[in-house]
Structure 1
Amino acid sequence: MKKNLIITVLVLLLIPAYLAGIFFPVHKSFIPHLINKDLSVNDLITRLVQSGAAVATFTSAFVALFRDELRRIFLEKHDISISFIDETNKITEITDTEGETDNTVVKEYICRLEFKNTGNVAEKNAEISMQNITTKRVSDNTVKYDIPLVWENNQTSTRIPIKGCRHFTLFSIASSQELEENDEFDSAPRSNTTIPPKLKLTNDIEYTSEIKLEITYLISYDNNRHDEFTISLDWDGKWQNRVLEMKDHVKVSFKKK
């Protein structure tokens, strides 16, 4: 297909080159010699019909050769919009019941994005991956990755239909926990150990203290298309049991490139 495109482009370039040679000839021999003869109406109509047929034939051949490319260029619209599922708080509570009291407690917060297909073409084989993480400190430190991630349906590849959407969990923050340590020879509790809250990006990337990050993600589709976006994440390492207070300790935003 690329070969056909190159040949057609070269043919198209010959037309302005020919016209340029007529008006700006490098030698007199290149100047066309036209016969000064009045054309009859029939001759004029015949020539117009022949010219129109030649143009139609060339256009038909061009469209037949590059139908798919022309459709992609002029008709197909690829557009994936990205937004937070919870635009107000950015994070969502995940609750659980506590022991015999059945009190509802927050066990973790999650931050999710929605990818909506606002174009007119279904996006096939959409895959998302983490490309790099930059830790924002006195001096930035960037670590490059290429980690395949999963969509919310636990699949690494998915289809996003027209006007459809898919969800993706950016990170989660698990609550702090207290563990009771027992004496080796005594079943009575001896002391408590507090496990700090934990921010989790992937199964292998976790943080338990204040952190400020910039994370780059890549979404790839069929036909070598891709979208790239960057997440800015700032967490002070603290935990609150209500989302209204917790959102002040977690600042997250994204920018699509």
Structure 2
Amino acid sequence: MTSFNRDGHAGTGPGEFTPDGCSVDLYARLPGNGEAEIVAAALPPGATLLELGAGAGRMTRPLVAAGLQVTAVDESEGMLAHVRPVAPAVRAPIEDLDLGRRFDAVLLASFLVNTADDAHRARLLRTCVRHTSPGGHVLIQRERDGLHDSLEPGSSWSRGELTVTVVSLEPAGDGASRTCLAYDFGGARWTQTFYSRNLPRPRFEAALAEAGLAVDSYLTDDRTWVRARVERDPASPTPASSPAS
């Protein structure tokens, strides 16, 4: 059986890397791609927001500028060094996080929900539920349906100065794959190798339901951005049944 833990993740190129193979130098340079605008439009003005996996703050900065009260979480001190000038930051693994407080919204972006490890996904989503206030929402970025089937080694796409190339893509069973991407930006090249899993809409929504979440709305036509509501908190005790009269 294939193990999808982060021992199979790696990165190459100049500078520091996170445990899952992300380049701190690359992420600190990348411009936004409209993600923060989607998030800000889905929340009330001034909302408190817990940003899980904030990285170097590509979304944090415009979200703070939009008036949201952001608390950023990442396990990389190198990443958070770029965040702390603009928002409170917590260094911690997402799956073990328990801040003892709740927020109007929790953000799980960067396709983290597409982890190939089902148990890890469940822990990420439980962290979201654990930190969401009653009536609040969880905002999730997921891969579009069929993305894995559309990629092949050698394919590439560009955004501004950034060019991304698929170096390799190895099926690992049950919709999972081990992918190596190359990032060319500003005269330097980085690679990241990682496991991910295709999550068609029914499987994605089933994972939400297992964690106590349900889709409130899909925020984009391609359904890559989702606003979910908390239906139940798995950590809360189940109310005792009333005795029969």
TM-score for both structures, normalised by structure 2:
0.24
Structure with the larger strand share: 1
* Higher RCO structure (Cα 8 Å, ≥6 apart): 2
